[in-house]
Amino acid sequence: MVDFAFLREKKNILLPIAGVLIFLLLLVGGRLFFEKLAEKQNIPNKNPDLVVDFLENLDSPKTGENAILPTPDKVSPLTGLKVAADIMLKPVAVMIENHPASRSQMRGLNEAGIVIEALTEGGITRFLVIFDSSERKKVGPVRSARKYFVEWAEEFGGAFVHAGGSEEALGMLEKSNLQNFDEDGDIVYRDFQYLKPHNLFVNLQAVRTEEPEWFLREGWFNFSNEIPSDAISAKQFSIDFSLPSYFVDYVYDSVNGNYKRLLGGEIHTANGDAIRPTNIVIQFTEYFPIDEEGRLELKTKGEDIAWYFSGGKMWQGVWKKIGGKTQFLDGLGNAVKLQPGQTFIEILDSHERVGIKDLMAN
């Protein structure tokens, strides 16, 4: 009788290998699908002449028009919206993760004034979320910091909430003007109904109580309901950061005057509510890996192109940081005006990562 035991042994070895190969094929196939989808969309050209023109006129800026205007009392400098009379506008920056395993328990992202989304290692994105008035007792899940997130947070001052971080980020925090909140079991605590590491949250009310007398005086934007006359219609666009699970879509809702945000093809929610920013800024810059773990160096200073989306329209401008504060400017070098409301800032290295559907001139 022939002994087929050797075939069973090979089967036990080959089945797991076949499973891995099938997974990889599906992953690559999904990636190619999204790339083909993006190719079919209209992509405007990034206009590098805007940067050149701006640099040529650095010595003669338009008086007052490139400055952030003073914010009226009881109006948020982050959103241009009124806040309750008893709220003190204290800035709190929180590192919030975006791993798929963290999304169902995401809390607070929809209540922030400004949300910055940028790549970290491994093709994942992470959020730096800036609050000035929320007192939600559960915000997160909180994750670790990177140097460029600390650099942005320093521009607002106040508190910085994180769960450890890269060596560079932690060194910068020690020297910064930020009040440092790391995991402590009380203010930054774990909720064990969720699995580690996606279960760390922060009590914003407690942070605002602990935070010293540091009040937010100025944000990054001026606010106005007017849209530039040269803006073009762009009611739907997508962003391809890396993997399909981090693919972002924005769809303008003309009834509510904001954008539906989809993440990985699903409505992006926080505390069960849809995240619906009023404005989206795409800030183009450069980044590259700096170590074996794939951590990134990201350019936060200098100048480059910015794209602005608000009111279902899109227009181009420039961002610059020469000194201590980032400025977002329109094509004429004036401080950009956005509609009052939440702003998402997407950090990208190429305009080819953006697909804009039905792009039309007025």
Question: pLDDT tens digits for 132-161?
Answer: 999 999 999 999 999 999 999 999 999 999
Is residue 257, in this structure, part of any structural domain at all? no
Query: What tens digit of pLDDT does each residue of 229-286 get?
Result: 889 999 999 999 999 999 999 999 999 999 999 999 999 999 999 999 999 999 999 9
Q: What is the pLDDT of residue 3?
A: 53
Is residue 357, in this structure, part of any structural domain at all? no
Name the amino acid, one letter, at 112. A
Domain containing residue 143: CATH number: 3.50.90.10
pLDDT at 41 over 80: no
Is residue 70, in this structure, part of any structural domain at all? no
pLDDT at 55 over 80: no
Decide which of 295 and 41 is more confident: 295
pTM to 2 decimal places: 0.84
Per-residue confidence at 44, pLDDT binned at 50, 70, 90?
low
Is residue 361, in this structure, part of any structural domain at all? no
Is residue 269, in this structure, part of any structural domain at all? no
Average pLDDT of the residues in 87-116: 95
Is residue 285, in this structure, part of any structural domain at all? no
Q: What is the pLDDT of residue 70?
A: 85
Is residue 13, in this structure, part of any structural domain at all? no
State the Cα–Cα distance between residues 145 and 120, nearest whole angstrom: 10
Is residue 232, in this structure, part of any structural domain at all? no
State the Cα–Cα distance between residues 320 and 301, nearest whole angstrom: 7
Could you tell me which of 131, 77, 80, 132 has the C-alpha nearest to residue 107?
Answer: 131
Average pLDDT of the residues in 199-217: 89
Structural domain boundaries enclosing 156: 92-210
Question: What is the count of structural domains for the chain?
Answer: 1
pLDDT at 78 over 70: yes
Which range is least confidently modeled, 8-12, 84-88, 233-237, 353-357?
Answer: 8-12
Average pLDDT of the residues in 313-341: 92
8 Å CB contact between 142 and 191? no
